[in-house]
Amino acid sequence: MAYLFTSESVSEGHPDKVADQISDALLDSFLAFDPESKVACETLVTTGQVVLAGEVKSHTYLDLQAITRRVINDIGYTKGEYQFSGDSCGVISLIHEQSQDINQGVDRATKEEQGAGDQGMMFGYATKETENYMPLALDISHKILQTLADLRRENKEITYLRPDAKAQVTIEYSDENVPQKIDTIVVSTQHDSFEADDDKMLNKIKSDIINILIPRVKNQFPEHIQVLFGNDIKYHINPTGKFVIGGPHGDTGLTGRKIIVDTYGGKGAHGGGAFSGKDPSKVDRSAAYASRHIAKNLVAAGVADEVLVQVSYAIGVVEPTSIFVNTYGTSKTGLHDGEIAEKVAALFDMRPYAIEERLKLRNPIYLETAAYGHMGKEPQIVNKVFESPYNGRVEKEVELFTWEKLDYVDKVKEAFNIQ
């Protein structure tokens, strides 16, 4: 019997994502001027206010207010009528120094012996369902909101959009776990106040989403995905009615509250640890990236069609306490999942410092992760510039999304004797 599966995404203007982006922008600036910084930044956003909190150990000093305001303006909160803008909001910093009790378990005499920054379990997942090895419902949800943001910034075909938005996609699957069609698409987008009555306004928004946004999204996919966009999709566009009040004025936002949007949309699993605002000594982040790197390379190499990788740590301990692999019965190697996990442990060094080095994580690469998912994006090399009234100007060439590289495929094939 066919079944339905749903994933959601939220826009860069969603209050929780505003908080994530501020936290990661602060992290990037600390790392740009002091790559050895230890950072755990939390952000709260609400009507006209931003509160920064957390723990930092760094040799640099930053203008936290300026960084925060720049991020908010770049997202698009630039007007007083939004009740939240980068130029007018209050910014309160409650950041203090990292606990020495935690730091002593991380810093060691040699970097190679660096302990895990916390206990816990982290997951990575990959599937052959899409070209970027991501779950299809989440991939479509992300693209809906990225494309909606493009339309907002272009301000041509749709001129009333505001930054806050959410999308949700439901896909019908066969018993063989093959996508059959898109069953339902939900889009809620913040918008300007209309002079027209509410019904006329809602009809206009629904028409623009279905006839302008969705065709743009559809054209970003290969043909075998495009055919899933049938004429019988059920649409729910702004189903509660008008959505003028939104963003941090409509809802308080907090760092780390969209961990499923950030990862796999409910597919696979999640260990519970958030990413944004955390430097890579925090294995909540670095080991989750490393686990995705493993899962993606295993699937790309032909080990299995679908892979879940779990790794776990004890705070201050160098080696992981476990590595687990689940291929959901799709293994093509003749090996049991436990045997696959043994080979993975031998092939991928999962000590915290080794992960940092392999994936080049002590670089200012994190703001780009803080909206539309940390996984599934294209690796790329970019130049980033950081300026500070206290530290001058730093320009760095950095590599984004290194955990998405398929640089271990040949090693995996060799390890598993795949031709």
Q: pLDDT, tens digit, for every residue of 237-278?
A: 999 888 888 989 999 999 999 999 999 999 999 999 999 999
| Residue 28 in marked binding region | no
Query: What are the structural domain ranges in the chain?
Result: 3-8+136-246, 120-128+282-416
Which residues, including other chains, have CB under 8 Å from residue 143's CB and lie 6 or more apart?
Answer: 217, 220, 221
**Residue type, position 281, single letter:** S
Task: Please tell me what DSSP assigns to residue 331.
Answer: B
The predicted-structure confidence for 378-392, as pLDDT tens digits, reads as follows: 999 999 999 988 888
Q: Is the pLDDT of residue 195 over 80?
A: no
User: Residue 221 pLDDT > 70, yes or no?
Assistant: yes
How high is the pLDDT of residue 419?
Answer: 85
| pLDDT at position 115 | 79
The share of the chain scoring above pLDDT 90, in percent, equals 87
Nearest to 250 by CA among 54, 16, 418, 22: 16
The 10s digit of each residue's pLDDT in 137-188 is: 999 999 999 999 999 999 999 999 999 999 999 999 999 999 999 999 999 9
E-assigned strand segments in 220-319: 234-237, 253-254, 306-313
Q: Which phi and psi angles does 363 have, rounded to 5°?
A: -125, 160
So what's the pLDDT on residue 137? 98
Residue 16 marked as a ligand binder: yes
Question: What tens digit of pLDDT does each residue of 22-36 get?
Answer: 999 999 999 999 999
Q: Is 153 annotated as a binding residue?
A: no
Provide the CATH number for the domain formed by 120-128+282-416 in this structure: 3.30.300.10
pLDDT of residue 144: 98
- Is 166 flagged in the annotation as binding? yes
249 labeled binding residue = no
419 is in an annotated binding site: no
pLDDT at residue 91, rounded to an integer: 97
pLDDT, average across residues 69-86: 94
Domains 3-8+136-246 and 120-128+282-416 in one fold = yes
The pLDDT score that the predictor gives to residue 105 is 52
End-to-end CA distance of the chain: 36
| Helix (H) or strand (E) run with residue 167 in it | strand 161-173
Question: Is there a binding annotation on residue 224?
Answer: no
Q: 251 a known binding residue?
A: yes
Residue 101 in marked binding region: no
**Ligand-binding site membership of 114 (annotated):** no
Instruction: Check residue 377 and report its DSSP letter.
Output: P
| Cβ contact 12:189 at 8 Å | no
Does 198 belong to an annotated binding site?
Answer: no
Which residues, other chains included, contact 310 with Cβ-Cβ below 8 Å and sequence gap of 6+?
A: 121, 122, 123, 269, 271, 291, 322, 323, 324, 325, 326
Quick one: pLDDT band at residue 301, thresholds 50, 70, 90? very high
Give the mean pLDDT of the chain. Answer: 94
Closest CA to 294 of 418, 400, 405: 405
* 42 is annotated as contributing to ligand binding: yes
Who wins on pLDDT, 81 or 144?
144
Question: Cβ neighbours of residue 254 under 8 Å, at least 6 residues apart?
Answer: 16, 19, 42, 43, 44, 45
Q: Which CATH number fits domain 3-8+136-246: 3.40.50.720, 3.60.15.10, 3.30.300.10, 3.60.20.10?
A: 3.30.300.10
Determine if the pTM surpasses 0.85. Answer: yes
Rounded to an integer, the average pLDDT of 111-135 is: 90
The answer on whether 172 is annotated among ligand-binding residues is no
Average pLDDT in the 112-122 region?
84
Is 19 annotated to bind a ligand? Reply is no
**CA-based nearest residue to 57, from 109, 116, 105, 103:** 103
Q: Binding site annotation covers 292?
A: no
**Residue range 312-335: mean pLDDT, rounded:** 95
Is 270 annotated in some ligand binding site?
Answer: no
